Amino acid sequence: NNFVILSVGRLEKIKGHGYLLDSLPDILKSVPNCKVVIVGGGREKENLIRRAKDLNVSDFVEFKGEVSHEDLPKFFRQADVFVMPSLSEGFGIACIEAMAFGLPTVASDVGGIADILEHKKTGLLVSPSNPKEISNAVISIHNDSKLRSALSGNAKERSRQFDWNKIASLVNEVYREATHA
């Protein structure tokens, strides 16, 4: 019955989980049956737990800690939307994994994420450090079934371009060309 918002990543300031928590009071006004599930461990865990308490949203947040890669699919399957509120991101593997599961994704427009997500096509990009944009994006996905369905299908299709075998083959081809030039 819950609308599950999933975030996966190290619990470090750079990952921006605090901004997701800051967005939750606004989300709850429109989506009172939502729950945030945060998967990952790190130095910020106690600060994030305290922040959730200070915002009076701790009843709506679950910190799952570190989980094995084999157990991650269970969390992706149970989620309705994936949020990656990073302040900086090199590549965003968790984002690609969420897309592969067909999860509508909200992510900060930083680093390599913009190379993965196409705004309003394969996900929704938000400004970093902006809880209001995060809440608006999550609420839009919740309220608009056509948008949710389109993002889901397009994300799944886009994620196929990041298949490790394809990437390895492309890298191999680049090396082959470089050594024959």
Alpha carbons 7 and 21: distance in angstroms, whole number? 11
Alpha carbons 170 and 176: distance in angstroms, whole number? 10
CA 181 to chain centre: 41
Q: Which residue has the higher pLDDT, 93 or 148?
A: 148
CB 19 within 8 A of CB 52: no
Whether this prediction's pTM lies above 0.85 is answered by yes
26 burial via Cβ count (<10 Å: 0-12, 13-18, 19+): middle
Q: Does pLDDT of 123 surpass 70? A: yes
Alpha carbons 106 and 144: distance in angstroms, whole number? 14
Q: Average pLDDT over the chain, rounded to whole?
A: 93
- Per-residue model confidence as pLDDT tens digits over 23-72: 999 999 999 999 999 999 999 999 999 999 999 999 999 999 999 989 99
Quote the tokens at residue 180. Answer: 């024959």
Q: What is the pLDDT of residue 181?
A: 61
Q: Calculate the alpha carbon distances from 6 to 35, 92, 119 in Å.
A: 8, 15, 19
89 in helix, strand or coil? coil
Residue 126, beta-bridge partner list: 108
Q: Calculate the alpha carbon distances from 52 to 21, 22, 37 in Å.
A: 6, 8, 12
Read off the pLDDT of each residue in 104-119 and give the average, rounded to a whole number. 94
Give me the sign of the Cα torsion angle 46, 48, 53, 58. Answer: negative
Q: What is the pLDDT of residue 179?
A: 80
Q: Where are the beta strands (DSSP E) in the chain?
A: 3-8, 34-39, 61-65, 81-84, 105-108, 124-126
